[in-house]
């Protein structure tokens, strides 16, 4: 169409001038340091074949869900998968959503009420922030992983609540953060965060998208590795990262699940996942529980990557963490895009993360590590990076 709105065109042109215009690019055959497929499950023939066999064994020959789960889409594999997930994560229940975005939108737009308060880490994922904007609760961000700042905000609101005695409705304070942040790969002090939450009777909500499959003996996530599962009101886990498939789940109490089924609009008003999608989630979880070699190899690669950073004097360039996400801060969209292009030309699929996705001056190369990366690949890509950085 020739009548594309001028204001929208100007916004696109501004992105282009800032070297931050996003584009869809085809898949490549480069060495993978960019995907979230930490364990290689997305291309696992074992999971593919077992999923197919599961569908045959259970006489499920249906391509689509046919409707929302509250109408015709709640096919029988949902119940088995949700029960398996809940048991695996030591949770009372699990409720599957179509995506991590849907899960966060559904939770934050419906659970916190008008008189409630949401305190969230300033670097929380866009899906959390978008859900918060849809909520009737008041929201305030705290400095990244800064528990002192968080506590000061809690104390301020408790004092305000005590002064406002005419308010007959009780106020619940929700604290939300991520166990592993998607851009920095770092983690909050979850043990002290849980203590802080209990001290002020707050409800803790943790997004474990990038921790499941990476932390814990069986890939249960960082919350269970630290044995904090009983101190968290809700956990959001996703299946599009280490589990290599699609969808998400919210872990919590039976009451929380029942509430979400009744009030989470992103759950109610959407067609459910297909039987094949849900069966793939179930089989991926079974693989996670029974085959631990990929998890151990991933942990070995993370340790090796960190050792090589030190040997090559690159440690100061990277955000410090022990996760599968390793970010090298290289300020400036143009500069970081140039280095990413040079790495790609040498066979390594490393992506540049640009502002405004990250704050201006915090542009970075985001290295995602996998169980299938070799030590030689890790050494080679870091050696090459060192020639561009220094």
* pLDDT at res. 291: 86
* Gap between the Cα atoms of 229 and 215, Å rounded: 14
* Gap between the Cα atoms of 183 and 257, Å rounded: 29
Mean confidence (pLDDT) of the chain = 95
User: pLDDT confidence of 20, banded at 50, 70, 90?
Assistant: confident
> Residue holding tokens 């364990």?
39
Nearest to 256 by CA among 137, 110, 85: 110
* pLDDT at res. 167: 57
Q: Is the pLDDT of residue 389 over 90?
A: no
Nearest to 184 by CA among 121, 141, 237: 121
Over the stretch 141-162, which tens digit does the pLDDT of each residue have?
999 999 999 999 999 988 877 6
Q: Is the pLDDT of residue 163 over 80?
A: no
Sheet holding 364-368, edge to edge: 325-329, 364-368, 351-353
Kindly state the average pLDDT of the residues 303-318. 96
Q: Which domains does the chain have, with CATH numbers?
A: 27-43+292-389 (3.90.1150.10), 62-290 (3.40.640.10)
* Gap between the Cα atoms of 72 and 237, Å rounded: 25
* pLDDT at res. 161: 75
Over the stretch 52-80, which tens digit does the pLDDT of each residue have?
999 999 999 999 999 999 999 999 999 99
86 or 25, which is more confident: 86
pTM: 0.94
Kindly state the average pLDDT of the residues 369-378. 98
Kindly state the average pLDDT of the residues 335-341. 95
């Amino acid at each position: 169409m020739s009548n594309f709105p001028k204001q929208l065109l100007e916004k696109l042109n501004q992105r282009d001038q800032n070297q931050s215009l996003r584009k869809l690019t085809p898949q490549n055959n480069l060495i993978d340091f960019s995907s979230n497929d930490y364990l290689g499950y997305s291309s696992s023939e074992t999971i593919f074949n077992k999923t197919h066999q599961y569908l045959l064994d259970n006489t499920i020959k249906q391509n689509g869900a046919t409707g929302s789960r509250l109408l015709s889409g709640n096919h029988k594999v949902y119940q088995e998968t949700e029960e398996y997930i809940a048991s695996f994560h030591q949770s009372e229940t699990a409720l599957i959503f179509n995506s991590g975005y849907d899960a966060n939108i559904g939770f934050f737009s419906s659970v916190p009420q008008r008189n409630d308060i949401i305190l969230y880490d300033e670097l929380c994922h866009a899906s959390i922030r978008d859900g918060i904007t849809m909520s009737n609760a008041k929201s305030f961000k705290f400095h990244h992983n800064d528990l002192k700042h968080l506590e000061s905000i809690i104390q301020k609101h408790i004092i305000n609540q005590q002064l406002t005695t005419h308010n007959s409705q009780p106020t619940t304070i929700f604290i939300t953060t991520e166990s592993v942040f998607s851009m920095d790969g770092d983690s909050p002090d979850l043990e002290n965060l849980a203590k802080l939450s209990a001290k002020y009777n707050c409800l803790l909500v943790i997004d474990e998208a990038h921790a499941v499959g990476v932390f814990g003996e069986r890939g249960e996530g960082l919350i269970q590795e630290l044995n904090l599962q009983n101190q968290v009101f809700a956990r959001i886990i996703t299946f599009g990262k280490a589990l290599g498939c699609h969808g998400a789940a919210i872990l919590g109490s039976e009451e929380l699940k029942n509430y979400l089924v009744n009030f989470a609009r992103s759950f109610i008003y959407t067609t459910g996942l297909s039987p094949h999608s849900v069966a793939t989630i179930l089989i991926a979880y079974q693989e996670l529980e029974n085959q631990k070699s990929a998890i151990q190899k991933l942990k070995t690669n993370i340790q090796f990557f960190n050792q090589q950073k030190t040997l090559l004097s690159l440690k100061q360039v990277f955000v410090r963490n022990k996760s599968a996400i390793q970010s090298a801060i290289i300020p400036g969209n143009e500069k970081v895009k140039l280095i990413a292009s040079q790495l790609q030309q040498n066979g390594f699929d490393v992506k540049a993360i640009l502002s405004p996705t990250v704050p201006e001056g915090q542009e970075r190369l985001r290295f995602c590590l996998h169980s299938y990366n070799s030590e030689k690949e890790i050494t080679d890509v870091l050696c090459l990076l060192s020639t561009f950085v220094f």
